[in-house]
Amino acid sequence: MEKEFQCLLVTQTDTGEFHQEVTQKRVQDLPPGEVLIRVQYSSLNYKDALSATGNRGVTRQFPHTPGIDAAGVVESSTSPDWQPGDEVIVTGFDLGMNTSGGFAQYIRVPANWVVRLPAGMSLRESMVYGTAGFTAALSVEALLRNGVTPQKGPIAVTGATGGVGSIAVALLHQLGYTVHAVSSKASAQDFLHQLGATEIILRADLEDQSGKALLKPRFAGAVDTVGGQVLATLLKSVHYGGTVTCCGMVNGAEVPTTVFPFILRGIQLAGIDSVEYPAERRPAVWQQMAQGWKPRTLETLAHEITLQELPQAIATILKGQMQGRALVRLP
């Protein structure tokens, strides 16, 4: 197909800087794959911002189109599993990392990366969730799997105004949990209360500097999205038998902890990975997100942006100042 389409392209200049611009690509230049998808919505995640600014841990080669999320309609397929007209979601795997991503009107991907849009969810809603929402759902699922039910006590959510954090607050509230939101933003009280948080804790007030091996238990569990000292503090602060999930590292990749929370309180640390999460288990998670888990506040989490507005949003998320989700609408 000779067709041209619009995308955000990140290029490296001769001086080594990374430059983002909206430009045209040809469908024939997309990577090989069984399913060609006309993208209607994408969304901005922290990892996209890393890719768009040249982080080699995320994207090795430039020019490149980021976007780890895409939702749209199958245009053509050589796989018997997908037909033209199917409404589909793609998140994770290599999309937007070293495979041309969702900040574009078209993507072409392997058939097993594709998930059917579940009943009860629009394409738009699927990208309000995006990878952030899928990761939040996997985190909630890990709490449930480990027996941390709403009756057990409050759940702390860190990075609460960010993508994963804000959706985790809303999902937990929807499922009947008491949520204590941990945020760096004193100004975000109303936003977090609207999502269902009963208490807001400023990150500076949570972060333990005492060096103690254990603190007074105050949470039944926690969804941590930031890592570092914050995660270390949570491990010391959950009740006997509690679970802390771990998915992110904006506060640091090192976790200064001891074995004591594990061997004296029997707590669990649950690692969450949305990227390589098995294809065959994805539809069941999306199904829950479309039905009983869907927060009434989902729409209020998103603000819609265009490809042209992405560079500004990328700068905002890199500064840790994003609130909720930036939903990218493709023309």
Ligand X SMILES: NC(=O)c1ccc[n+]([C@@H]2O[C@H](COP(=O)([O-])OP(=O)(O)OC[C@H]3O[C@@H](n4cnc5c(N)ncnc54)[C@H](OP(=O)(O)O)[C@@H]3O)[C@@H](O)[C@H]2O)c1
Compare residues 30 and 137 and give the one whose CB is closer to ligand X: 137
With beta carbons less than 8 A apart as the criterion, state whether 107 and 101 touch: yes
What stretches of 217-298 adopt beta strand conformation (E)? 219-224, 238-246, 268-271
Shortest CB 222 distance to ligand X, Å: 14
DSSP H/E element including 52: helix 46-52
- Hey, what amino acid is at 45? N
Shortest CB 303 distance to ligand X, Å: 13
94/212 Cα distance (integer angstroms): 41
Shortest CB 69 distance to ligand X, Å: 10
Compare residues 264 and 284 and give the one whose CB is closer to ligand X: 284
Shortest CB 198 distance to ligand X, Å: 16
With beta carbons less than 8 A apart as the criterion, state whether 317 and 293 touch: no
Shortest CB 194 distance to ligand X, Å: 14
Shortest CB 174 distance to ligand X, Å: 18
* Among candidate residues 94, 82, 11, the one with its CA nearest the CA of residue 52: 11
- The residue nearest ligand X at its CB is 162
Burial of 235 (0-12, 13-18, 19+ CB in 10 A): buried
Q: Using alpha carbons, list the distances in angstroms from residue 67 to 24, 59, 239, 272, 314.
A: 16, 11, 38, 20, 11
With beta carbons less than 8 A apart as the criterion, state whether 331 and 310 touch: no
Residues in the site for ligand X, rule: CB under 6 A?
45-47, 131-132, 135, 159-165, 183-185, 203, 225-226, 230, 247-251, 272-275, 317, 320, 322
Is the CA virtual torsion 306, 311, 315, 320 positive or negative?
A: positive
Compare residues 30 and 313 and give the one whose CB is closer to ligand X: 313
Q: Which residue has the tokens 């945020």?
A: 183
Shortest CB 259 distance to ligand X, Å: 24
Compare residues 233 and 274 and give the one whose CB is closer to ligand X: 274
- Hey, what amino acid is at 329? R
3-state secondary structure of 71: strand
